[in-house]
Amino acid sequence: MTRTRRLQLKTMPLILISIVLGPLGNVFLGKGMKGVGSVTSARIIDFLPIASRVLTSGYIWLGIVCLMGFFVAHMLLLTWADYSYVQPATSLSYVSIAILSYVVLGEMISPLRWLGVTVICVGVLLVGRTSPSTSEAP
Amino acid sequence: MLEAVLFFFIVVAGTAGELSVSRAMKGVGEVHDFRLKSILRFVLQSFRLPWMWVGIALMSVAFFSLLAILSFRQVSFVVPVSALSYAAGAFGAKLFLGERISRNRWIGIAVVCLGVTIVWWTRA
């Protein structure tokens, strides 16, 4: 088994975990923040009530837990794979974020936005055909 | 204006944070063992690295900016646009981590950026 093939065997499952947990976390954060209300003020006096609403939102914490799971998978990947490989590879999550935003949050995704997401994925496929690590193992 | 500032923090602080974490991870070395105990040890070990904390601080800035922007924009808009960090990430990885970015990878990253631009047009 070549080094590239061996690396891909353990890289792919972790990328899959990242693709599901990361977007799920963001969707929960979105749901939580829509409940908090629009944060468009930079005044200090508005900060505390907003912070308390953020910290007591169950959806925010659920999102944070998902994102922590995502982060651990991401860190494991980065011990052997190039950052410039991992970052584009996990961008398949743009498909799952669009699907989850539609299903969980009821966001309407316009055809143009789907086109944008699809173009992002084409970029991902191009990047995915390169080797996970270009630097020599230490 | 606020939106632009928040996106700037998400993209620049987020990317700089990830690059810092990536630098810390290369210090830990390649992980071969995926048992829970080994993964926990790996997480504890990484928290002893200064670059890890630099990364966490930067990513926190990006995280709170993300929360603020999610309070008034759709998730399916904000997350694709934050992929602007792809270009920032490639330049950063090249300059800061010494990774070699092949021509094919540059092409892929350029296509990703095109997709981000199209999503930006759907800003409602």
Share of chain A above pLDDT 90, in %: 30
CA dist A65 and A87 (Å) reads 21
* B73-108 confidence digits (pLDDT tens): 999 999 888 877 777 888 888 888 788 888 888 888
Cα A127–chain centre separation: 17
Length of chain B as a residue count: 124
Q: pLDDT band for position A21 (50/70/90)?
A: very high
pLDDT at A1 over 70: no
* B13-35 confidence digits (pLDDT tens): 999 998 888 888 877 777 777 78
Q: Which residue has the tokens 């799971």?
A: A69
The set of residues, in sequence order, having a beta carbon less than 8 Å from that of B89 and lying 6+ positions away, is A83, A84, A87, B15, B18, B19
pLDDT at B124 over 70: no
What pLDDT is recorded for position B89?
81
- For the CA atoms of A99, B79, B20, B22, what is the dihedral angle to 10 degrees? 20
Provide the sign of the torsion angle of the four alpha carbons A66, A72, A74, A77, taken in this order.
Answer: negative
Angstroms from A82 CA to nearest CA on chain B: 7
What pLDDT is recorded for position A138?
40
Q: Is B124 helix (H, G, I), strand (E, B) or coil?
A: coil
Q: pLDDT band for position A137 (50/70/90)?
A: very low
Angstroms from A59 CA to nearest CA on chain B: 12
* A25-43 confidence digits (pLDDT tens): 999 999 998 888 777 766 6
Q: What ipTM did this prediction achieve?
A: 0.74
The average confidence (pLDDT) of chain B is 86
A121 is written with which tokens?
């994925």
What pLDDT is recorded for position A66?
94
Do the Cβ atoms of A67 and A25 come closer than 8 Å?
A: yes
**DSSP result, A7-32:** HHHHHHHHHHHHHHHHHHHHHHHHHH
Q: Kindly calculate the radius of gyration of chain A based on its CA atoms and give it in whole angstroms.
A: 18
Q: Is A43 helix (H, G, I), strand (E, B) or coil?
A: coil
A94 touching chain B per CB within 8 A: yes
Share of chain B above pLDDT 70, in %: 99
What pLDDT is recorded for position A134?
63
Angstroms from A16 CA to nearest CA on chain B: 16
pLDDT at A136 over 60: no
What pLDDT is recorded for position A90?
73
A115 touching chain B per CB within 8 A: yes
* Interface A-B: count of C-beta contacts within 8 A: 190
pLDDT at A88 over 80: no
Instruction: Give whichever of A51-60, A115-124, B3-12 has the largest mean pLDDT.
Output: B3-12
Which one of A82, A83, A136 makes the best mutation probe of the B interface by having the most chain B beta carbons within 10 Å? A83
Which ranges in chain B belong to alpha helices (H)?
A: 2-8, 14-28, 36-46, 50-70, 75-81, 85-96, 103-121
Do the Cβ atoms of B90 and B105 come closer than 8 Å?
A: yes
- Span B60-85, average pLDDT: 88
* A90-125 confidence digits (pLDDT tens): 777 888 899 999 999 999 899 999 999 889 888 877
Do the Cβ atoms of B101 and B49 come closer than 8 Å?
A: no
What pLDDT is recorded for position B96?
80
pLDDT at B4 over 90: no
CA dist A48 and A46 (Å) reads 6
